[in-house]
Amino acid sequence: MRIFWLAPCTLITISFNSLALDVKQRFDHLDKDKNGFLSEQELSSQPHLQKRIAQWDTDKDQQISLLEFKHYLTNKS
């Protein structure tokens, strides 16, 4: 019976880890100056992302953190 539950649990864990890695890779790709934040200038090549910067910037510091970016990607409708 334990083996029956082991496979789904393993797949879920791998899936969550893959999602986290994918978010980090996307963020790192966009973070051209590698300062750990996305600026409006860094998002200028991605107009569909740039126009949403005000929605993501929950702390209103004019830049997007990895946490804000992750929140957007995992909660967008």
Q: What is the mean pLDDT of residues 58-74?
A: 90
Q: Are 62 and 15 in contact (CB under 8 A)?
A: no
Rounded alpha-carbon distances, angstroms, from residue 15 to 12, 18, 44, 48: 5, 5, 30, 26
Q: pTM for the complete prediction?
A: 0.68
In the prediction, which pLDDT does 77 show?
A: 46
2 — pLDDT class (breaks 50, 70, 90) = low
CATH 1.10.150.120: does it fit domain 18-75? no
Q: What is the pLDDT of residues 43-57, one digit of tens each?
A: 988 888 888 888 889
Domain limits of the chain?
Answer: 18-75
Mean residue pLDDT of the chain comes to 78
